Amino acid sequence: MSNNSAIGVFDSGIGGLTVVKSIVESMPQENIIYFGDTAHVPYGTRSKRQILHYVLSDVKFLNTFDLKAVVIACNTADSVARQAVEDAYPDLPVFGVVDPASRLAAAQTRNKKIGVIATKATVESGAYEKAIAAYDSEVDVLSAACPLLVPLVENGRFQVGDIVIETVVREYLDPLLAEGIDTLVLGCTHYPLLQDVITHLYPDLNVISSSDAAAAKLLGTLIREGLCNEEPGSDRKYFVSDDAEGVDKLARVFMREDLGGTFRQVDVE
Amino acid sequence: MSNNSAIGVFDSGIGGLTVVKSIVESMPQENIIYFGDTAHVPYGTRSKRQILHYVLSDVKFLNTFDLKAVVIACNTADSVARQAVEDAYPDLPVFGVVDPASRLAAAQTRNKKIGVIATKATVESGAYEKAIAAYDSEVDVLSAACPLLVPLVENGRFQVGDIVIETVVREYLDPLLAEGIDTLVLGCTHYPLLQDVITHLYPDLNVISSSDAAAAKLLGTLIREGLCNEEPGSDRKYFVSDDAEGVDKLARVFMREDLGGTFRQVDVE
At B83-103, the pLDDT tens digits run 999 999 999 999 999 999 999
CB contacts under 8 A, A 128-157 vs B, are: 147-148, 151-152, 154-155, 157
Q: What is the band of B2 on the pLDDT scale with cuts at 50, 70, 90?
A: confident
pLDDT digits (tens, 9 = 90+) for A149-197: 999 999 999 999 999 999 999 999 999 999 999 999 999 999 999 999 9
Say yes or no to pLDDT of B1 above 70. no
- Of A48, A71, A49, A50, nearest in space to A59 by CA: A71
A74 is catalytic: yes
pLDDT at A48: 94
Mean pLDDT of B131-159: 97
Q: Which of A14, A27, A74, A105 is catalytic?
A: A74
d(CA B84, CA B102): 20
Q: Which residue among B40, B155, B164 places its CB closest to the CB of A164? A: B164
Say yes or no to pLDDT of A66 above 70. yes
Q: What is the band of A257 on the pLDDT scale with cuts at 50, 70, 90?
A: confident
d(CA A194, CA A200): 10
d(CA B261, CA A45): 23
* Residues of B taking part in catalysis: 74, 188
pTM, entire model: 0.92
d(CA A193, CA A179): 24
Of the residues A54, A164, A243, A249, the best mutation for testing chain B's interface (the one with the most B CB atoms within 10 Å of its CB) is A164
- Of B188, B191, B211, B247, nearest in space to B38 by CA: B247
Cis ω on the peptide bond leading into residue A100 (within 30° of 0)? no
Q: Do B243 and A167 touch (CB under 8 A)?
A: no
Question: Is the CB of residue A226 less than 8 Å away from at least one CB of chain B?
Answer: no
Q: Percentage of chain B with pLDDT > 90?
A: 91
pLDDT digits (tens, 9 = 90+) for B158-212: 999 999 999 999 999 999 999 999 999 999 999 999 999 999 999 999 999 999 9
pLDDT at A12: 96
Q: Is B261 helix (H, G, I), strand (E, B) or coil?
A: coil
pLDDT at B260: 87
pLDDT at A1: 62
Could you tell me which chain A residue has the CA closest to the CA of B166?
A164
The CA-atom distances, in angstroms, between B31 and each of A61, A236, B98, B233 are: 43, 54, 23, 9
Q: Do B50 and A39 touch (CB under 8 A)?
A: yes
Say yes or no to pLDDT of B26 above 70. yes
pLDDT digits (tens, 9 = 90+) for B103-129: 999 999 999 999 999 999 999 999 999
Question: Is the CB of residue B190 less than 8 Å away from at least one CB of chain A?
Answer: no
Q: How does the average pLDDT of chain A come out, rounded?
A: 95
- Of B50, B44, B230, B135, nearest in space to A39 by CA: B50
pLDDT at A180: 98
pLDDT digits (tens, 9 = 90+) for A85-140: 999 999 999 999 999 999 999 999 999 999 999 999 999 999 999 999 999 999 99
Q: How does the average pLDDT of chain B come out, rounded?
A: 95
Return the exposure string of B24-59: e unless at least 16 CB atoms fall within 10 Å of the residue's CB, then b: beebeebbbbbbbbbbbbbbbbbbbebbbbbbbbbb
Of the residues B45, B158, B169, the best mutation for testing chain A's interface (the one with the most A CB atoms within 10 Å of its CB) is B45
Mean pLDDT of A226-244: 92
Alpha-carbon gap: A243 to the closest alpha carbon of chain B (Å):
6
d(CA B254, CA B245): 17
Q: Return the CATH fold of B98-211.
A: Rossmann fold (3.40.50)
The CA-atom distances, in angstroms, between A87 and each of A11, A54, A55 are: 19, 15, 13
Where along chain B do the CATH 3.40.50.1860 domains lie?
A: 6-96+213-265, 98-211
pLDDT at A32: 97
pLDDT at B233: 76
Residues of chain A contacting B243 with CB distance shorter than 8 Å = 47, 49-50
Question: Is the CB of residue A94 less than 8 Å away from at least one CB of chain B?
Answer: no
CATH number for region B6-96+213-265: 3.40.50.1860
Of the residues A37, A45, A47, the best mutation for testing chain B's interface (the one with the most B CB atoms within 10 Å of its CB) is A47
